[in-house]
Amino acid sequence: MSEAPHNGPVCPGTLRETSVYRPLRDPAVWLILLVYLLIAVVYSYVMLLGQGPDESNRHFPYVRWLAHTWALPVEDPEITGGNLELHPPLYYLLLTPVYLLTEHLGEASAMRALRWTSPFMVLGGLLLWVPVLWHACGRNRRSFLFVLALTAWWPNLFVDAGAITNDAGAILASAALLYMASVHWWRNRSLQTALLLGALAGLGALMKASTIATSVGVLGVWLAWQHGRRFFRDPDFWVRGLAIVGGFLVVCGWWYVRNYELYGAFTPFPRGYRGIPEDISNWQAVQYGLVWPLLWRALHGLWASVFAGVVWFPPQSHVIVYNLLRLLCVLAIVGLALAVQRRWGKWPWLGFEQAPALLISCVGFGVLWLSAIWMSVFVHMGVYQGGRYLLLYLPGLVLPLGLGLHELYRRTRMALPYVLTAMCMPLLSILVWYHLWTYWNPKVQEMIERSTQ
């Protein structure tokens, strides 16, 4: 992965760049994406049909319900087959034509066809992330390809790419918003742009409710950034902020108002999953010290499960796998500290186009991470194992990790450390395949039991 040649002036604080290089014309980029697609397809066959997260009890029944009734689901598990009313309908509406075309082949074939939509939805997200990563890496080809490989081959990403899940649609919508806000329109201060970004955030909210908090964070930073330090004194800031809200409400407001009228909440959650007793308020839980064990479990659980589901690696491999991942995180932190030290006293630290792509990506991930911690502690304790919920803004996680490692590896002047680190990701996926095919596959378990009798 060689450096891109330098053919022109470089903005202060950026890495070497070229006006000739185009990421989507680089064969290495397409090789990385092709490897992603191959792994995603393998995942969709290694995971038995119906074993993806909530695949058989929520996501597939939702599509089937829409295809048969052409009506939104109601809060009646006996009728719909699950708590379908939790999820916004856009992802399932997009899959309904595929189901109608394949329903006559049987449910297994229809489910398989719906699964095949996920790799390409996530691929669309990756294509939108490519320019974000390119700018966030300061237009440095080596660090860009390294970060892209880590992102595209992230083991947990294939859980979404290999199953029927609205996370795939949410990744695509969130990637579109991130690209438009941090690359395409980050300097555009028109009222129309604000309205369109609000509408785009509304489409994300119709894919999955968890996109709302991140959209607020991303668009809030984008808007404040454009209007400068005293943004709150600029009348255009407030007008454009109202345009964002207006575009958002026009697209998705009807869904959340409907929920509030039917269930008394914009996003209804089943009760009884809190780690805190229902008769104790959140503030009382903090005062009584009930929150701190839950908070620690959320912090550790989300870290462990963001790489892959906590039960997806063989138990005997946990010591090696998680210590390796801890080592990579520690090295990344050291590398980031060295990068800060190297640039200390220089202004600007980041290039003119590098800063928004890098910082807005991190803001999106940070808001999503804080939301997941809140949910795990105060709403649904099972979220602490839901690292896959953080993948909507995966660049915001991989960029600090990859750039920190790049700061260390670049000193070696060799490509080998980059290649070895990137290859760890597909190897972790192969380890997951082994575990899914042996421990989690009931057909294989049945064969083993018969052979030992």
Residue 107 belongs to a domain: no
Whether 8 maps to a domain, the answer reads no
Looking at the structure of the chain, the number of domains it has is 1
For residue 348, whether the previous peptide bond is cis, meaning omega lies within 30 degrees of 0, is yes
Interior angle at CA 141, CA 392 and CA 303, nearest 5: 35
Residue 56 within a domain:
no
Contact 149, 187 (CB under 8 A): no
- pLDDT, residue 187, reads 87
- Asked if the structure places residue 83 within a domain, the reply is no
Residues with pLDDT less than 70, the chain: 1-20, 75-85, 269-272, 345-352, 440-453
- Dump pLDDT digits (tens) for 191-222: 999 999 999 999 999 999 999 999 999 999 99
pLDDT for res 249: 96
Residue 104 lies in a domain: no
76 inside domain: no
CA neighbor of 117 nearest in space, from 53, 152, 155, 163: 163
Q: Does residue 275 lie in a domain region?
A: no
**Domain with 153 in it:** 23-51+116-267+284-452
pTM for this model (two decimals):
0.89
| Residue 6 domain flag | no
Q: Is 50 left (phi over 0), alpha (psi -120 to 50) or beta?
A: left
